[in-house]
């Protein structure tokens, strides 16, 4: 059995752990999990590219996001390969409640818009990292080892988004922390409440 642990900084960052009900469901719906996971990697790449388009003059941000987009696309290719090896056809899945609800929190004025975008990036990376770690001991070996490998990169992405939120927004760390606290409450509510859909970032599965 492959072993992985939720990195300490991520366990401390998130307000709640993923409920066991979600983990049980994920193990029994592995094809859907992988499918939505592939979509999440693609979405992560396109979010990073959207940031480049929106803030082309911010060199450090653009460099980081460009590298991030490439890495997420690489993850996308890897998940697709696993699906293809199992002869699972790849289809587009409807967006999850989780990312939609978080992205709707982005305010329209700057620098709040940039701050919110980067903080939400940090939260999604942290939640993904936590779920990979919790899934590793429960999944079949090839997928478990793949997920154990993804852990480290998502933990690094989390750190990058968090650092950029402070350095690029130019806001005080108190202001950043206050906003982060509100957004983390939303993540916690989404993860612990009943969700009619099953997705990589869904809440407690509704009784079948
Ligand atoms: Fe990724
Ligand atoms: Fe990532």
Could you tell me the distance, in angstroms and rounded to a whole number, from the CA of residue 181 to the centre of ligand 1?
24
Work out the pLDDT band at 26, boundaries 50, 70, 90: very high
Residue ranges with CB less than 5 Å from ion ligand 2: 125, 154, 157
**Of 127, 126, 125, 151, nearest in space to 139 by CA:** 151
Could you tell me the distance, in angstroms and rounded to a whole number, from the CA of residue 129 to the centre of ligand 2?
8
Tens-digit pLDDT profile for residues 46-102: 999 999 999 999 999 999 999 999 999 999 999 999 988 877 777 777 888 999 999
pLDDT greater than 60 at residue 19: yes
Q: What is the pLDDT of residue 208?
A: 59
Work out the pLDDT band at 1, boundaries 50, 70, 90: low
- Nearest ligand to the C-alpha of residue 76? 1
**Of 100, 85, 116, nearest in space to 39 by CA:** 100
Averaged over 190-201, what is the pLDDT? 96
Q: What is the pLDDT of residue 2?
A: 60
Q: What is the pLDDT of residue 78?
A: 96
Averaged over 1-19, what is the pLDDT? 90
Neighbours of 55 (CB within 10 A): 17
Cα–Cα distances (Å) from 80 to 13, 37, 74, 76, 94, in that order, read 30, 9, 10, 6, 17
Averaged over 160-186, what is the pLDDT? 97
> Model pTM?
0.95
Question: What share of the chain has pLDDT > 70, as a percent?
Answer: 98
Tens-digit pLDDT profile for residues 134-154: 999 999 988 999 999 999 999
Could you tell me the distance, in angstroms and rounded to a whole number, from the CA of residue 207 to the centre of ligand 2?
30
- Nearest ligand to the C-alpha of residue 47? 2
Tens-digit pLDDT profile for residues 101-116: 999 999 999 999 999 9
Alpha carbons within 13 angstroms on the beta-carbon side of residue 78 total: 16
Q: What is the pLDDT of residue 87?
A: 76
Neighbours of 142 (CB within 10 A): 12
Tens-digit pLDDT profile for residues 45-59: 999 999 999 999 999
Question: What share of the chain has pLDDT > 90, as a percent?
Answer: 88
């Amino acid at each position: 059995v492959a072993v992985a642990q939720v990195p300490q900084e991520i366990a401390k960052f998130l307000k709640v752990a993923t409920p066991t009900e979600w983990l049980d469901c994920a193990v029994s719906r592995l094809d859907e999990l992988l499918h939505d996971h592939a979509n999440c990697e693609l979405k992560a790449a396109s979010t990073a590219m959207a940031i480049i388009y929106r803030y082309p003059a911010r060199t450090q941000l653009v460099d980081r996001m460009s590298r991030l987009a490439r890495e997420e696309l690489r993850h996308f290719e890897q998940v697709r390969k696993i699906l293809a090896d199992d002869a699972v056809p790849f289809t587009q899945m409807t967006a999850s409640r989780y990312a939609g609800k978080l992205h709707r929190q982005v305010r329209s004025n700057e620098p709040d818009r940039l701050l919110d975008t980067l903080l939400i990036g940090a939260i999604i990376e942290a939640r993904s990292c936590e779920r990979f770690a919790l899934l590793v001991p429960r999944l079949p070996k090839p997928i478990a080892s793949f997920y154990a490998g993804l852990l480290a990169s998502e933990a690094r992405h989390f750190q990058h988004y968090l650092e950029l939120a402070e350095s690029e927004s130019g806001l005080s760390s108190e202001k950043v922390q206050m906003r982060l606290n509100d957004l983390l409450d939303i993540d916690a509510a989404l993860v612990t409440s009943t969700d009619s859909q099953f997705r990589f970032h869904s809440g407690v599965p509704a009784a079948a």
